[in-house]
Structure 1
Amino acid sequence: MDLPLSRIANERLHRAIPGGAHTYAKGEDQYPEHLAPVISHGRGAYVWDVDGNQYLEYGSGLRAVSLGHVHPRVTSAVHDVLERGNNFVRPSIVELEAAEQFLETVPTADMVKFAKNGSDATTAAVRLARAATGRPLVAQCADHAFFSTDDWFIGTTPMSAGIPAATMAMTVPFPYGDLPATEQMLRQFHGQVACLILEPTKGVAPPDGYLAGLLELAHQHGALVIFDEMITGFRYSEHGAQGLYGVTPDLSTFGKALGNGFAVAALAGRRDLMELGGLRDSRDRVFLLSTTHGAETPALAAAMAVIDVYAAEDVTARLHALGARLAAGVTEVAAAHGIGERVLVRGRDSNLVFATLDADGAPSQEYRTLFMRCLLENGVLAPSFVVSAAMTEEDIDRTVEVVASACVVYRKALEAGDPSPWLGGRPVKPVFRRKA
């Protein structure tokens, strides 16, 4: 597989765009050296790079494109509203229709407000919690990877340059699944914590009673609970993890799969909280979400079409079935090649990732590079194993075959005690690091 045009395009991207991409997780450094394709177009479960190479694509749009590229019902819905205009000086009827349909689908919420990205939604939720409680601190689950590009979260990462120490001190951690440790944190910062924000799961079902217990504990200490459902919303269940596990948070945020790649996110929650950002409440007003493009009609039309498709085609069940087939296949071939304890599949079937471990069983960027290189060279673009509904069982079986060939190389590297001859250059790097 040759990528000269992609290599040229990557150089141009770095000259024009800091990092060479608009999302760090899409950066060239996340892929083996000289094997970062620049995409020309996609259809269904496949994408083509500017060199004409075809790839079966996992994790499409960072988990956003769950139905596959250019889904006909989504495309048709977007085309229909484009013929009617996409942004006006007053709310369009599409805003009302999208809000009502969302609330019918996620009945645990009373009100919803749309935005263009998840960071705006989570930060609005944090601001709302601070206003409602009169408290300054945010408690964020330390076991989850990402919540927002805003200072309250980025200050907790190695990429905290430019964020004042005083701001960093306003966010405190708590561990997932550990109610006693969380209670200790709430006691330590007694009367200061406005909210606890977390993804409802860590890839597998939460410990029995944990989510309900966390909600009760937070309320006992006067704090609110925010579920970040950017990933779990729709991909786990169209009702969100809150519907799947039967626990209603005070506020929640959705995105990713909601628009099948179109830019739409949502903040949803209790009416008494959400009305703080409205016009029918006597309390001090909260500048909640006010975005010129937040209710752009094509994205909302896409969201409504996505909701329709999920309901009509039982998309969540299909994602789980495809993922289960993939997980079983990868686990089987890794074991067959004697590296079943080094190449692992983790997470819920609809949202799988892979782990690449070295000879000592430690996570390894070098072995991740080797593994990804083997997949890319065989037409599988897989920063994760997150499936889309556009995939077929044949696509999954082909992936397993490619993984099997990668396992042959992986085992050779383990036996040699050094993966570097198979890397083809520098190893891939973690997104959150202090130096480039």
Structure 2
Amino acid sequence: MDPNRFQQSRRAAQRLRTLVPGGAHTYAKGPDQYPQDCAPIIARGAGSHVWDIDGNEYVEYGSGLRSVILGHAHPRVTEAVSKQIRCGTNFVRPSLLELDAADAFLDAVPTMEMVKFAKNGSDVTTAAVKLARAYTGRDMVAVCTGQPFFSTDDWFIGTTPMDAGIPEAVQKLTVGFPYGDLAAIERLFVEYPGQIAALVLEPESGALEPPPGYLCQVIECAHAHGALVIADEMITGFRWALQGAHALVGAVPDLCTFGKGIGNGFSVAALAGRREVMEIGGLDSQHDRVFLLSTTHGAESGGLAALLATIEVHRAEGVSDQLATIGRSLRQELERVIDDAGLSEYLKILGRDCNLVFATLDAQQQPSQGFRTLFMRQLILHGVVGPSFVVSTAISARDVEHTAAALAAAAPVYAAALERGDPAADLGGAPVKPVFRRRA
């Protein structure tokens, strides 16, 4: 590898690390998540491609942690945002845009009756937990343990190895259940009778297919025990379907939280739910009031304009169908290359077509951070960057071909490391690490 190829990126990454704890504003984008000698610092993006500050060009996957659903700088979204911010971005009273955005969102997600906007997913999911606690008069929350992330706030982070700074008393208020196991949820309600305010889960879990009727059964079980269900649609909302993944299976959760793709990378998130529950955060309920998402920038006009434009593009272009079609084509090409290389037992493409991830296994067919590092490094060296193969609608047939070629170039390096039983020679430094770990 040319030692100067990532020179400016390495220099900028080191400077970031001295100024920003963790070297990034999101742990999943941190330097410990990418190969040490080729972790590009991005200068710009257009459609499905990004360029780093050294001038290297890449096909990008998982863009914006799955938020850039239409591709970078989508013209209808950027035009809508540009037009709106010229009229002002924040006011002392609500703007008409807030009404338009609420109307459009609830029309797109017709299972929900009220909505409140914010700037990030953690805030709206924590607000949903607070509503559930206030509505039920209970303190405990149960989260799906097979799903990696719900919030930066203590009620969730206290369940992870990164629980430093979180009081033990807070940690004890959250318990877990495995995805797809209804009996495990029943056992929780028996173990903690009358104590659980809500179950929090994604409607669909990564590479796991939900059992038939699962989400509807979860809601029925929760209601039978006096608890609510919060569906986290951060990943699935607008990607599986405009109306959310819960609607595809005929389920109506009490509360839903949306973010990521709903603004094509602009900062906007949504808490939506049943009127009876949402109103306790408003002015028209006889219930004790909940201080709910009172944020200065929650209705900032750029994010709401992006939301409206993204909904319009979604309806006009059938975005969810496009994502599924592109992902299906990508999966087929990548699996063909993997099979041809004899690596099908060690390198796997998993997940729904619109949300593809990869699994990197060692010679014993066990998940390996070392082989993940090797694989990501080879892809980057051949012009493909991303922690996954999650597509945007901007991914073209040529991009799919390029990605398949990059994988074909990576395959012999992967195979040689398997033969040696050790990928260390091809990592470019230390292996990538899990985000949630107790020590550096």
Q: TM-score, normalised by structure 2?
A: 0.98
Letter in 2 for 1:156: T
| 1:129 is aligned to 2:121 | no
Residues 294-345 of structure 1 show CA distances to partners (whole Å, capped at 9, x for unaligned) of 0000100000000000110011111111111111111121111111011001
State the 1:243 CA deviation.
1.6
| 1:433 is aligned to 2:423 | no
State the partner residue of 2:316.
312
What does residue range 310-389 of structure 1 map to in structure 2 within 5 Å? 310-389=314-393
| 1:276 is aligned to 2:284 | no
Partner Cα separation in structure 2 for residue 28 and residue 14 of structure 1: 8
Question: SS where residue 350 of structure 1 aligns?
Answer: helix
What does residue range 140-151 of structure 1 map to in structure 2 within 5 Å? 140-151=143-154
Larger deviation, residues 119-128 vs 5-14 = 5-14
| 1:113 is aligned to 2:116 | yes
State the partner residue of 1:158.
161
State the partner residue of 2:260.
256
State the partner residue of 1:3.
6
| 1:208 is aligned to 2:212 | yes
| 1:399 is aligned to 2:413 | no
State the partner residue of 1:50.
53
State the partner residue of 2:238.
234
Residues 177-230 of structure 1 show CA distances to partners (whole Å, capped at 9, x for unaligned) of 111111011110000000000001113542101111111000000000000000
Question: SS where residue 298 of structure 1 aligns?
Answer: helix
Partner Cα separation in structure 2 for residue 69 and residue 210 of structure 1: 35
Larger deviation, residues 410-419 vs 68-77 = 410-419
Residues 259-294 of structure 1 show CA distances to partners (whole Å, capped at 9, x for unaligned) of 111000000000000000000111110011110000
Contact 1:139–1:171 (Cα < 8 Å) also in 2: yes
Partner Cα separation in structure 2 for residue 74 and residue 274 of structure 1: 29
Letter in 1 for 2:53: V
Larger deviation, residues 349-358 vs 239-248 = 239-248
Contact 2:213–2:249 (Cα < 8 Å) also in 1: no
State the partner residue of 2:197.
194
Partner Cα separation in structure 2 for residue 181 and residue 70 of structure 1: 44
Q: Give the length in aligned residue pairs.
A: 436
Residues 39-73 of structure 1 show CA distances to partners (whole Å, capped at 9, x for unaligned) of 11111111111111111110000000010011000
State the 1:117 CA deviation.
0.3
| 1:424 is aligned to 2:421 | no
Contact 2:63–2:386 (Cα < 8 Å) also in 1: no
Partner Cα separation in structure 1 for residue 333 and residue 193 of structure 2: 49
Q: Which 4+ residue blocks in structure 1 deviate beyond 4 angstroms?
A: none
Question: SS where residue 354 of structure 2 aligns?
Answer: coil
State the partner residue of 2:298.
294
State the partner residue of 2:248.
244
State the 1:246 CA deviation.
1.2
Contact 2:215–2:246 (Cα < 8 Å) also in 1: no
Contact 1:108–1:242 (Cα < 8 Å) also in 2: no
Contact 2:194–2:226 (Cα < 8 Å) also in 1: yes
Letter in 1 for 2:127: A
Question: SS where residue 143 of structure 2 aligns?
Answer: strand
State the partner residue of 1:66.
69
What does residue range 31-50 of structure 1 map to in structure 2 within 5 Å? 31-50=34-53
Partner Cα separation in structure 2 for residue 427 and residue 357 of structure 1: 14
Question: SS where residue 272 of structure 2 aligns?
Answer: strand
Partner Cα separation in structure 1 for residue 166 and residue 428 of structure 2: 37
Question: SS where residue 370 of structure 2 aligns?
Answer: helix
Letter in 2 for 1:210: Y
State the 1:382 CA deviation.
1.9
Partner Cα separation in structure 1 for residue 22 and residue 375 of structure 2: 24
State the 1:133 CA deviation.
0.2
Letter in 2 for 1:171: T
Partner Cα separation in structure 2 for residue 359 and residue 416 of structure 1: 9
Question: SS where residue 359 of structure 2 aligns?
Answer: strand
Partner Cα separation in structure 2 for residue 416 and residue 435 of structure 1: 29
Contact 1:235–1:316 (Cα < 8 Å) also in 2: yes
Partner Cα separation in structure 2 for residue 250 and residue 421 of structure 1: 51
Match of 1:78 among 78, 81, 85: 81
Partner Cα separation in structure 1 for residue 282 and residue 216 of structure 2: 29
Question: SS where residue 344 of structure 1 aligns?
Answer: strand
Give the % identical residues.
60
What does residue range 6-25 of structure 1 map to in structure 2 within 5 Å? 6-25=9-28
Question: SS where residue 231 of structure 2 aligns?
Answer: strand
Partner Cα separation in structure 2 for residue 77 and residue 423 of structure 1: 43
State the partner residue of 2:223.
219
Match of 1:181 among 160, 176, 184: 184
Letter in 2 for 1:195: A
State the 1:142 CA deviation.
0.6
Partner Cα separation in structure 2 for residue 421 and residue 70 of structure 1: 38
Residues 143-173 of structure 1 show CA distances to partners (whole Å, capped at 9, x for unaligned) of 1000000000000001000000000000000
Contact 1:323–1:351 (Cα < 8 Å) also in 2: yes
Question: SS where residue 353 of structure 2 aligns?
Answer: coil
